[in-house]
Amino acid sequence: MASLLEVDQLKIDARKDDGSLTPIVKGVSFNVERGEVVALIGESGSGKTTIALSALGYTKPGLEFTSGEVRLHGQDVISMPSEEKRLMRFQSCPHHRGAGDGVSRSAWPVEPGRGKPESNRTLSGIGTS
């Protein structure tokens, strides 16, 4: 039986302005079994977020998959068409919500005079209004 997530010799590079590539992730391999918890540990800038995003077929702007495979539920997410990735991401997250649903309302910007009176006082107290 295939692992839930299989990352095999994953390489991700950054494309410079001159077109040359700089290695960011250099041949990472690991498997995650159903029910297993895995932590990516490393220094700041070591590629932890880049590796984690690759599990759903994402790369940050300016980065590209250069070799290796990432399989989620046995499906290659790197070569998967964009629409299939979108559906797969939605189905893989059973508690998926619309954008912003999980964000506290206090995190949203408030125009002066438009929020609750206590919010306006707080914003004016920190110099944002």
Return the DSSP state at 19. Answer: S
Tell me if residue 112 falls in helix, strand or coil.
Answer: coil
> What is d(CA 83, CA 73) in angstroms, rounded to the nearest whole number?
17
User: Which two three-digit tokens encode residue 67?
Assistant: 């070799």
Please tell me what DSSP assigns to residue 90: H
pTM of the model: 0.66
Ordered by start, the domain boundaries in the chain are: 5-82
Tens digit of each residue's pLDDT, the chain (129 residues): 678 999 999 999 999 999 999 999 999 999 999 999 989 999 998 899 999 999 888 899 999 999 999 998 898 999 999 888 888 777 655 554 454 444 444 444 444 555 544 444 444 444 443
Running DSSP on this structure, what letter comes out for residue 46?
A: S
At 37, the amino acid letter reads: V
State the distance between the two ends of the chain, measured CA to CA, in whole angstroms: 58
